[in-house]
Amino acid sequence: MTTGNTNDLVVGRGLPGYALRVLILVTGAAMVLVPMTEDVTLGTLVLLVPAVIASAYAPASPAPGGAVIIVGVLVALADGPALRPEVLVLVPVVHLFHIACGLAGVLPATGRLHPRALTSPALRFLLVQAVVFALVVVAALVPTGRAVVVFEVAALAGVAVLAVLVVWLQRVK
């Protein structure tokens, strides 16, 4: 794939770098549409749309983080229960947006990306989504009324054990 110039680099097969930016725009469009279905139009149009466009233009900038925060605040301020379908749709969409911005941030728009380079992020994406939706199932099964004291104490003990485990695992060896 040369143009006759001897200084050209042959990059071979793979996805063009701009494909990640297209993925950013597609997931960003989904991030914009969900708050629009909940009648949150002003915040979506004024804040979220420019952040999504800036994220596609400069994925290594703070714009993707801003877009994620803005969509989270817009959905949190909307009326309805916490586990409504709009929120559950946004979980994988925002995560995919985040991953696409991370990959596009280190890959030039004119570069190429081999599909095998996506296997590790794809597996991590699936693992995180499985854990998140397992927690959603647990949250959906938790009673909304007054909890039994034994369960509250067990939950506090479990959180304490997790905190100690995290500190123990992250200590410097």
Beta-carbon count within 10 A of 172 CB: 3
Structure tokens at 103: 């990959």
Write down the domain spans for the chain.
15-144
Please give the pLDDT value at position 7. 60
In Å, what is the CA distance from 21 to each residue of 32, 103, 114?
16, 10, 15
Residue pLDDT, tens place only, 100-154 = 999 999 998 888 888 888 999 999 999 999 999 998 998 888 777 777 788 888 8
Q: What are phi and psi of 113, to 5 degrees?
A: -125, 120
Q: What percent of the chain has pLDDT over 70?
A: 92
Residue pLDDT, tens place only, 31-53 = 999 888 888 788 788 889 999 99
Nearest CA among 46, 48, 59 for reference residue 18: 59
Q: 52 near 98, Cβ under 8 Å?
A: no
Q: What are phi and psi of 60, to 5 degrees?
A: -95, 5
Q: 40 near 77, Cβ under 8 Å?
A: yes
In Å, what is the CA distance from 117 to each residue of 34, 95, 111?
30, 18, 13
Name beta bridge partners: 112: 16
Instruction: Indicate whether 28 pLDDT > 90.
Output: yes
Structure tokens at 11: 């990059």
In Å, what is the CA distance from 136 to each residue of 80, 129, 131, 148?
16, 10, 9, 21
User: How many residues does the structure list for the chain?
Assistant: 173
Separation of alpha carbons 157 and 74, rounded Å: 34
